[in-house]
């Protein structure tokens, strides 16, 4: 194990460039790319096998679409059914530049809002393509029978969402992610039934097989039998989601993990902007040390709820006893034009600030009020119930408080990771033949994601972008078999089985969860909503020690030849312990503040994030060199031809 000073002494390698991106006017680039991309003859597609890891919006959509095109798809998910991927938990909605409301929306405005919302750290070409494709997604989902909310005239309803001033968010009550995912799952199920997709549920990818510099397959473990097997293919698509669970407490599903992308990173895929994590402002505060995860309340609540804290520090009166003039509706006060609808990073940080001032509410002062009293008075309880009924129910179930009568308490929580595997315009990583889609890649959201854009990106990548771009790769790489005894294959299997055996053999005195909690707390404190050089260096000092302790003291009961949930957990934590280190290093090196990454050293006089465009207008793509040894930084410089970087202002 190396010490901190070694790890932080990273070297800067060659800049990384996006060779796949077409030139020309931005609105024509996607058409041009699709035209220039080579195609695979329909008759030959069956011969090509594509592995898809993950069955969320991106993976489910990609698996179904690739199979419809005629490819042989082999797909994996760790859940017992592809229908349970965590996309299902997205509540609020999905953006699309349909302009059905005639409120001034357009592809260009969605593009503009997304680049600006991402604090100018996203690639323009990608974001524009996302905005273009957004309109097709809605068409596709409606055709699949996704029951979006509708107006009495039978047309689709939309609502507004944080960070924008148009109503472009399509929704299905508070369960948009569920309905979109079921649409993709049903399309995928149809292909499974038809024999075009070979589905492996309860099977977790544990390594990537790279043969002669090309991704040619994966090593995966059957979670029921414990059997470790290899699967080879002509291309591998990772749709395994984000890495927010590194924080232990997050809104991610308990089993969402970073193993697939981290293993790919170790095999040569660059990891971009790992420190860009999104903190969601409206989560239910934690109730005690037993807390196993955090629950999000849809951001759409901010459309009608008003956020406030008492003006006075340490005011412990019940909310109803605090008179109007002793309340501070701080978002409305600081950001009058966007008010409660400011982007997530701003809303989260503002909540942290008021709590740090000692004005937080609830146990431990870690919460702010989200008050619907005014909305109920204005719209009537029935209308509020129709709009948010299920969210209110969920809140009451968890907290035993009735939000129709007592204001909700909310606090920010880790929700989404903008960083991920570096991909080019074709969504291909730096390992040829390895693609990353959805939250697993870094591409479209820059340093901050706008609400209702994750569903848009996942489906854009899965239904429309990847199926077009992967053709080009497969056309240029005619099928050839990988021998099962190839050293790259056997080596990867040996690595996986050795690691599992080591975990099982250790017989220490600490549980996997205890390490995960400790790591999560450390990251939340030092690499969470606000970051400082001191804190990050402290974390970078602690992580290698924790890693060492992990291998010394971990205890995993049972065997590897059965369903062993402790083994699954422990094995994921091994990767978190490395990823966390890279996140802290990335946060340390980026001495500017931007989007979700707030360095206290880089703030405007008003306390807002201050970017340093001259120094940091790039995506940081890190190359793995070894556990605990300094990675190599490759910069992809970002140029802005259409949206000129400005200080984001929502005041």
Find the shortest distance in angstroms from Cβ 34 to other proteins: 12
Nearest Cα to Cα of residue 126 among 621, 471, 640: 640
Find the shortest distance in angstroms from Cβ 540 to other proteins: 28
| Residue 463 in contact with other proteins, rule: CB under 8 A | yes
Helices 176-193 and 57-69: crossing angle in degrees, nearest 10, is 30
Nearest Cα to Cα of residue 29 among 120, 111, 117: 111
Residue 23 or 400: which CB sits closer to other proteins?
A: 400
User: Alpha-carbon distance 340 to 343, whole Å?
Assistant: 9
| Residue 13 in contact with other proteins, rule: CB under 8 A | no
Among 50, 187, 237, 489, binds other proteins (CB under 8 A): 187
Residues numbered 132 to 161 that lie near other proteins (CB under 8 A) are 136, 138-145, 147-156
Find the shortest distance in angstroms from Cβ 587 to other proteins: 28
Find the shortest distance in angstroms from Cβ 494 to other proteins: 26
Query: Over 130-170, what HEC string results?
Result: HHHHHHHHHHHHHHCCCCCCECCCCCECEECCCCCCCCCEE
User: Alpha-carbon distance 179 to 87, whole Å?
Assistant: 10
Residue 3 or 507: which CB sits closer to other proteins?
A: 507
| Residue 557 in contact with other proteins, rule: CB under 8 A | yes
Residue 32 appears among annotated catalytic residues: no
User: Angle 320-323-329 (CA atoms, 0-180°, nearest 5)?
Assistant: 95
Residue 189 or 602: which CB sits closer to other proteins?
A: 189
Pairing of strands 169-170, 94-95: antiparallel
| Residue 525 in contact with other proteins, rule: CB under 8 A | no
In three-state secondary structure terms, 537 is: helix
What are the DSSP E strand ranges found in 426-539?
434-436
Residues numbered 295 to 334 that lie near other proteins (CB under 8 A) are 295-296
What are the DSSP E strand ranges found in 375-496?
408-417, 420-421, 434-436
Residue 38 or 150: which CB sits closer to other proteins?
A: 150
Which of these is catalytic: 33, 109, 306, 344? 344
Annotate 259-273 with DSSP letters as a single string. Answer: HHHHHHHHTT--EE-
| Residue 563 in contact with other proteins, rule: CB under 8 A | yes
Specify the residue for token string 């431990």. Answer: 364
Query: Over 35-99, what HEC string results?
Result: HHCCCCCHHHHCCCEEEEECCCHHHHHHHHHHHHHCCEEEEECCCCCHHHCHHHHCCCCEECCCC
| Distance from the Cα of residue 338 to its chain's centroid | 25
Residue 62 or 208: which CB sits closer to other proteins?
A: 62
Among 33, 48, 86, 123, binds other proteins (CB under 8 A): 86
Size of interface with other proteins, in residues (CB under 8 A): 90
Residues numbered 88 to 127 that lie near other proteins (CB under 8 A) are 88-89, 98, 100
Tell me the window of 81-89, 301-309, 627-635, 638-646 that interacts with other proteins (CB under 8 A): 81-89
Among 8, 44, 68, 553, binds other proteins (CB under 8 A): 68
Residues numbered 273 to 302 that lie near other proteins (CB under 8 A) are 287-288, 290-293, 295-296
Find the shortest distance in angstroms from Cβ 178 to other proteins: 6
Specify the residue for token string 């978190």. Answer: 576
Spell out, one character per residue from 496 to 515, where the chain touches other proteins: x when CB under 8 A holds, - when not. -------------x-x-xx-
Tell me the window of 102-110, 188-196, 269-277, 298-306 that interacts with other proteins (CB under 8 A): 188-196
Residue 637 contacts residue 16 (beta carbons within 8 Å): no
Residue 260 contacts residue 438 (beta carbons within 8 Å): no
Residues numbered 216 to 245 that lie near other proteins (CB under 8 A) are 224
Specify the residue for token string 């898809």. Answer: 52
Residue 458 or 467: which CB sits closer to other proteins?
A: 467
User: Alpha-carbon distance 25 to 29, whole Å?
Assistant: 7
Residue 551 or 640: which CB sits closer to other proteins?
A: 551
Active site residues: 344
């Amino acid at each position: 194990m190396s010490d901190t000073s070694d790890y932080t002494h990273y070297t800067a390698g060659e800049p990384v460039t996006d060779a796949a991106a077409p030139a020309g006017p931005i609105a024509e680039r996607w058409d041009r790319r699709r035209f220039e991309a080579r195609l695979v003859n329909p008759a030959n597609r069956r011969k090509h096998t594509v592995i898809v890891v993950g069955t969320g919006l991106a993976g489910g959509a990609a698996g179904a679409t690739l199979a419809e095109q005629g490819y042989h798809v082999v797909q994996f998910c760790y859940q017992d059914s592809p229908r349970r991927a965590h996309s299902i938990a997205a509540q609020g909605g999905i953006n699309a530049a349909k302009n059905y409301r005639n409120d001034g929306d357009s592809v260009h405005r969605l593009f503009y809002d997304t680049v600006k919302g991402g604090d100018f750290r996203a690639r323009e070409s990608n974001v524009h393509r996302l905005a273009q494709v957004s309109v097709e997604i809605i068409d596709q989902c409606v055709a699949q029978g996704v029951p979006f909310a509708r107006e009495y005239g039978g047309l689709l309803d939309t609502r507004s969402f944080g960070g924008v001033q148009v109503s472009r968010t399509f929704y299905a009550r508070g369960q948009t992610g569920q309905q979109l995912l079921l649409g993709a799952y049903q399309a995928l199920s149809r292909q499974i039934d038809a024999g075009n997709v070979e589905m492996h549920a309860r099977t977790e990818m544990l390594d990537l097989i790279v043969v002669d510099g090309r991704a040619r397959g994966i090593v995966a473990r059957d979670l029921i039998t414990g059997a470790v097997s290899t699967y080879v293919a002509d291309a591998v698509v990772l749709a395994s989601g984000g890495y927010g669970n590194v924080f232990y407490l997050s809104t991610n599903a308990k089993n969402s993990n970073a193993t697939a992308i981290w293993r790919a990173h170790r095999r040569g895929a660059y990891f971009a902007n790992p420190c860009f994590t999104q903190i969601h402002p409206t989560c239910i505060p934690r109730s005690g040390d037993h807390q196993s995860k955090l629950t999000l309340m849809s951001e759409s609540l901010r459309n009608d709820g008003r956020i406030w804290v008492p003006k006075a520090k340490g005011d412990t009166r019940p909310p109803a006893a605090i008179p109007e003039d002793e309340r501070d509706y701080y978002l409305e006060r600081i950001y009058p034009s966007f008010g409660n609808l400011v982007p997530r990073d701003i809303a989260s940080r503002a909540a942290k600030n008021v709590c740090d001032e000692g004005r937080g509410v609830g146990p431990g002062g870690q919460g702010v009020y989200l008050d619907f009293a005014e909305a109920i008075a204005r719209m009537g309880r029935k209308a509020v119930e129709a709009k948010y009924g299920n969210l209110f129910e969920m809140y009451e179930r968890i907290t035993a408080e009735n939000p129709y009568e007592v204001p909700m308490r909310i606090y920010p929580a880790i929700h989404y990771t903008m960083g991920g595997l570096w991909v080019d315009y074709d969504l291909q990583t730096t390992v040829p033949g390895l693609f990353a889609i959805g939250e697993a890649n870094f591409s479209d959201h820059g340093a901050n994601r706008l609400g209702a854009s994750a569903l848009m990106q996942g489906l854009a990548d899965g239904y429309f972008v990847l199926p077009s771009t992967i053709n080009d790769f497969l056309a240029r790489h005619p099928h050839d078999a990988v021998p099962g005894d190839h050293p790259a294959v056997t080596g990867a299997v040996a690595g996986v089985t050795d690691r599992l055996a080591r975990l099982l053999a250790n017989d220490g005195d600490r549980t996997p969860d205890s390490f995960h909690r400790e790591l999560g707390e450390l990251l939340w404190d030092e690499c969470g909503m606000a970051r400082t050089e001191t804190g990050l260096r402290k974390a970078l000092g602690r992580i290698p020690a924790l890693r060492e302790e992990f291998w010394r003291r971990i205890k995993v009961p049972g065997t590897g030849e059965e369903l062993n949930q402790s083994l699954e957990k422990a094995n994921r934590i091994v990767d978190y312990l490395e990823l966390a280190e890279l996140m802290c290093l990335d946060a340390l090196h980026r001495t500017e503040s931007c989007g979700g990454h707030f360095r206290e050293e880089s703030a405007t006089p008003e306390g807002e994030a201050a970017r340093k465009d001259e120094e940091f207008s790039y995506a940081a793509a890190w190359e793995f060199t070894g556990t605990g040894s300094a990675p190599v930084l490759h910069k992809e410089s970002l140029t802005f031809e259409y949206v000129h970087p400005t200080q984001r202002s929502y005041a």
